[in-house]
A and B are shown apart, each in its own frame.
Chain A
Amino acid sequence: DIQLTQSPSFLSASVGDRVTITCRASQGISSYLAWYQQKPGKAPNLLIYAASTLQSGVPSRFSGSGSGTEFTLTISSLQPEDFATYSCQQLNSYPLTFGGGTKVEIK
Chain B
Amino acid sequence: EVQLVESGGGLVKPGGSLRLSCAASGFTFSSYSMNWVRQAPGKGLEWVSSISSSRIYIYYADSVKGRFTISRDNARNSLYLQMNSLRAEDTAVYYCARRYSGYTGDAFDIWGQGTVVTVSS
Contact = CB atoms under 8 A, between A and B. Distances in A.
Contacts, number: 75
B interface secondary structure, majority = strand
Contacts of A44: 37, 45, 95, 108, 111
A94 B107 CA distance: 14
A96 B109 contact: no
Contacts of B50: 94, 96
A101 B95 contact: no
Given A43-B114, A96-B47, A99-B44, A91 B61 contact: no
Interface residues of B, number: 24
Given A43-B112, A98-B44, A101-B45, A32 B59 contact: no
Interface of B: 35, 37, 44-47, 50, 59, 61-62, 95, 99-100, 102, 104-109, 111-114
Interface of A: 31-34, 36, 38, 42-46, 49-51, 53, 55, 87, 89, 91, 94-101
